[in-house]
Amino acid sequence: MLALFRGYKNKELEKLETTQQPVFVYSFLRRHLAPNVGLDETERPQDKAKFAFTVPTYNHQQPVERYQWTDLPQGMINSPTLCQEFVARALTPVRHLFPQFILYHYMDDLLLAAPNREQKAPFYHKVLEALKAFGLQVAPEKIQEEFPYSYLGSTLESTQIRPQKIQIRRDHLKTLNDFQKLLGDINWLRPSIGIPTYRLRHLFGTLEGDRALNGPRQLSPQAAKELSYVEQRISQGFLSYLNPQKSVQLILFQTPHSPTGVISQDVAILEWLSLSNQTNKKLQTYIDKIALLIAKGRTRGLQLTGQEPQEITTQLTNAQVSKDFQFNEEWQLALADYPGRLSNHYPHSKLFDFLRQTSVVITNVISHTPVSGITAFIDANKTSEGYWTDRQYKVLPHSFSSVQLAELWAITLALQEFNTVPLNIVSDSRYATLSCSILPDVDLPLFSRSSIDKLFLRAQQLLLQRHDPVCICHV
């Protein structure tokens, strides 16, 4: 049995939320609220200085005046942390009295849950009494006792949790800050509605460019389609309730550009997981991203249930998993000390089957050992770059600021020249060879800005178009 309280407040403080006169607030607190709140300065005089504020003077014409609160200012809009602490103190005895009941407290919302209707009444009344003892009142019109409940932007139904239906306004999306706030709201919703990162790439692309908050932006046709998809997911998405008697699983899907995961119990989805649009590395392979999402899922499982996911399911074969344990540092770190089991067997679900069918298949023409074919030697200096084989050679001038970039461009020329035959590329640039060897698995920025981004993009296109293997060696 659930009950939801909203909008509890001390009526005296409610009148002060919009005031711009701290001196008035100070005197009002001293005269009216000390006996009501029960946290006056005589209780802990040593803490008085910690709750101080200053009143600035006009045009700095005299030193600022300093004041101290006589009480902890619960309910004030400029001290939400103290408000939370004050209400938490009121509820602590109730938590101890009903340790097996649910009492969620966030800002001015309370969510109560009892095992059945018979046990609801005493629990409900104890909470009211505890709040009243601290001078807090609950608005009767904001108490919800029947499904569906509105709670923290979600609608709690009897069997599932849905986001509240909204329509996203487009007419005010004109500046960088408008899009920042929009994407912040979307990111807050993503764990509930399951939007893969790749379905928001053009929306995130609007953040590129001029960094002034009032810098002009407009909604491109591709971004408008992504926004419509967000609205569709808001209307269709839902989550299931956690069963504390059952273990949870972490299930990953190889969606385009970046993996998507769910924390579930069998086929019941408890939360969606995704990675951020920006990575901390310019070149990050898809396997690296899977490893990062596994690490995020393990942490989130602990936060939700206090335990690691019992099973982690990916689409990787046993051979791929074994290889990653040997050679991929991100994978090793993500699964260090994991007590559960790894699997590639998915629960039977139409949604899971659909996500698997639309997944990225990880293939790679890069060979880690030399292949039977042409060998091209790459070199570059400050003014020129080129390649040499036993059949032909090419040397061209360049204007790059770095020899490393020139080496990368020379590798691109060799890939372009010998695109239909097996190829070995030998270079003395460790940076260029390592970068090119992982490019097929890397998700490059949608909007290339620098010359190196453009070089990486061109080399990646040539590698993805190849059918014959290529070995890129450093000497």
- The reply to whether 142 and 9 lie within a common domain is yes
Please give the structure tokens belonging to residue 112. Answer: 């109560």
- The reply to whether 207 and 249 lie within a common domain is no
Cα–Cα distances (Å) from 448 to 205, 208, 451, 454, in that order, read: 11, 10, 8, 6
- The reply to whether 54 and 153 lie within a common domain is no
Radius of gyration of the chain (CA): 30
Cα–Cα distances (Å) from 241 to 42, 144, 162, 253, 311, in that order, read: 47, 19, 11, 22, 19
Question: Which of these three, 126, 146, 166, is where a domain ends?
Answer: 146
- Give backbone dihedrals phi and psi of 150, rounded to 5 degrees, phi first: -100, 120
Domain that residue 119 falls in = 2-146
Q: Note the pLDDT of residue 475.
A: 87
- Give backbone dihedrals phi and psi of 169, rounded to 5 degrees, phi first: -75, 135
- The reply to whether 9 and 139 lie within a common domain is yes
Cα–Cα distances (Å) from 32 to 40, 67, 429, in that order, read: 11, 17, 75
Q: List strand residue ranges (DSSP E) for 52-159, in order.
A: 52-55, 65-68, 102-106, 109-113, 149-151, 154-156
Give the predicted TM-score (pTM) of the model. 0.72
Query: Domain for residue 35, yes or no?
Result: yes
- Residue showing tokens 């991100």: 330
- The reply to whether 166 and 155 lie within a common domain is yes
- Residue showing tokens 């993500």: 334
Question: Which of these three, 87, 118, 146, is where a domain ends?
Answer: 146
Count of domains forming the chain: 4
Contacts of 151 (CB under 8 A, 6+ apart): 4, 109, 111
- The reply to whether 233 and 204 lie within a common domain is yes
DSSP string, 402-434: -HHHHHHHHHHHHHHHTTTS-EEEEES-HHHHH
Could you give the maximum distance between any two Cα atoms of the chain, in Å? Answer: 95
Q: Note the pLDDT of residue 44.
A: 56
- The reply to whether 139 and 7 lie within a common domain is yes
Q: What residues are paired with 387 via a beta bridge? A: 378, 394
Long-range contact set of residues 125-133: C-beta below 8 Å, sequence gap at least 24: 126/94, 126/97, 126/98, 127/5, 127/91, 127/94, 127/103, 130/90, 130/91, 130/93, 130/94, 131/8, 131/87, 131/90, 131/91, 133/90
Query: Domain for residue 180, yes or no?
Result: yes
- The reply to whether 273 and 167 lie within a common domain is no
- The reply to whether 81 and 136 lie within a common domain is yes
8 A C-beta contact, residue 23 and residue 149: no
In degrees to the nearest 10, what's the CA dihedral of 147, 148, 149, 150?
-170
**What count of residues does the chain have?**
475
Query: Domain for residue 362, yes or no?
Result: no
Question: Which of these three, 200, 219, 241, is where a domain ends?
Answer: 241
Q: Note the pLDDT of residue 316.
A: 92
DSSP string, 65-86: EEEE-SS--TT-TT-HHHHHHH
The rounded distance, in Å, linking the Cα atoms of 156 and 153 is: 10
Please give the structure tokens belonging to residue 202. Answer: 């053009």
Query: Domain for residue 363, yes or no?
Result: no
- The reply to whether 209 and 269 lie within a common domain is no
8 A C-beta contact, residue 389 and residue 423: no
Query: Domain for residue 397, yes or no?
Result: yes
Q: Note the pLDDT of residue 31.
A: 34
Query: Domain for residue 216, yes or no?
Result: yes
Query: Domain for residue 218, yes or no?
Result: yes
What is the CATH number for 74?
Answer: 3.30.70.270
What is the CATH number for 414?
Answer: 3.30.420.10
In degrees to the nearest 10, what's the CA dihedral of 111, 116, 121, 122?
-90
**SS3 label, residue 117:** helix
Q: What is the pLDDT along the chain (475 residues), one digit of tens a residue?
A: 455 655 554 544 444 344 333 333 333 333 333 333 333 444 456 656 666 667 765 555 556 666 766 655 554 445 566 777 788 889 999 999 998 898 888 878 889 988 888 899 999 999 999 999 988 888 888 889 888 988 888 899 989 999 887 778 888 899 999 999 999 999 989 999 999 888 998 999 999 888 899 999 999 999 999 999 999 999 888 999 999 889 999 999 998 888 999 999 989 999 999 998 877 777 888 899 999 999 999 999 998 888 999 999 999 999 999 989 998 999 999 999 999 999 999 988 887 877 776 655 566 788 888 999 999 999 999 899 988 898 888 898 988 888 989 999 999 999 999 988 999 999 999 989 988 888 888 877 766 667 888 888 888 889 988 889 999 999 8
- The reply to whether 153 and 132 lie within a common domain is no
Q: Note the pLDDT of residue 73.
A: 52
- The reply to whether 311 and 382 lie within a common domain is no
DSSP string, 291-327: HHHHHHHHHHHHHHHSS--SEEE-S--HHHHHHHHHH
Query: Domain for residue 116, yes or no?
Result: yes
